[in-house]
Every structure is written in structure tokens, then in C-alpha cells.
Amino acid sequence: MTFGYEAQSEAEPLTPEQEASLRQIYLKQAPVVMAQYANAQNDYEAFTFMARAAAAAFHLAQFDEARQLAERALALAPSYRDDWNYGNAIHLGHTVLGLLALQSGDAATAIAELHASGDTPGSPQLLSFGPTMHLAKSLLKAGHVTPVLEYLQQCRVFWRMAGVWPDLWEQKIRAGGIPNFFQHCFV
């Protein structure tokens, strides 16, 4: 398998400055996402923005709100099982709960949430752009390799347009590295 620009994006670890710069992109978008959720006109619109709002709240250090939104998105998801956004709600809702668990020192729950986030039927976004690797990267930094490799296998099921990314990341992890997950490093 040939790795092109993908391999170049993983050749060197991101510097702390580069990671901070990427995080700033998400921090700038977070208030917009929160406003979309706040301006929802009905339950369906709220559901459409809820999981992304949970991630935005997490980035804005509004942890109680992040938990509430993630839990609510997951509670509402069964009502929208046939909706295009169902898979996003499952994926992001569990990702946010996993990030919160890891932040509080509960690695076992974070790992369970990582696997729950990968147990999604997918969505148009997950099919093409792929999943977030924010929780996976955080778990790798904490030394939890096997759960992340298992998560990558889960992602292969719904991320049909993944290209070489899962192979490249798995290779790097097995060699003892932590992938940059460049375009996938934040929620």
C-alpha cells in the first residue's frame, strides 16, 4: 500500500504549537455550534446539533453542559434511529463522555465509551470524512494501545472512504508512536 501526503502528515509529531493552533480552529467554531443548538426551533433541530454542541461545550471547558448534552443526545438517539444524524449522535455522544471520563481519571469508562463511539452504523459524515480520533489520541497518550487498535478496526466498518488512514495509523501505533490524526484529532 502506498502512502503519499498521508504519510508526510504523520512523519513528524505535531509540535505543541501546531496542536494548539489546530485546537484554536475548534475553539473558534465552538460558539457557532453552541448558537446553532441554542437556536433550534424544535426537538429535531436540537437533536441535529446536540452532539456537536456537546463537543463544543467540552472544548469551551463547560464540562457539566458537555455531559448533559452528550447524555441527552444519546437518550434521544433511539427516537431518530432512521435519521442521517443518528450515527453522529452515537459517535460524538460517547466520545464526549469518554473524554470527560478520561479527564476525571476513569480510564476504564473512557475505554468503554471509545468502543461505544465506534459502535455506530455511521452517517454520511462518518462514511466520508471519518471519525474523530480525539479520545483515541488521548487514550494513546495515557498508554492504552490495545483499545485504540480495536477502535480502528471498528472504524473500518463504517468509514468506507478511509483510504490508507487506518493502515497508516495502525502501523505507527504498533511501532510505538502516537499518530497526529491530523484532520481527525479533535471533535
Residue 114: name the closest of 84, 142, 77, 79 by CA.
Answer: 142
In this prediction, residue 102 carries a pLDDT of: 98
Positions in the chain whose pLDDT score sits under 70: 1-3, 185-187
Q: Which three cell numbers stand for residue 93?
A: 455522544
CATH fold, domain 14-184, is 1.25.40
Entry pTM: 0.94
In this prediction, residue 122 carries a pLDDT of: 94
Residue 49: name the closest of 22, 76, 27, 28 by CA.
Answer: 76
The per-residue pLDDT for range 140-166, each reduced to its tens digit, is 999 999 999 999 999 999 998 998 999
In this prediction, residue 15 carries a pLDDT of: 87
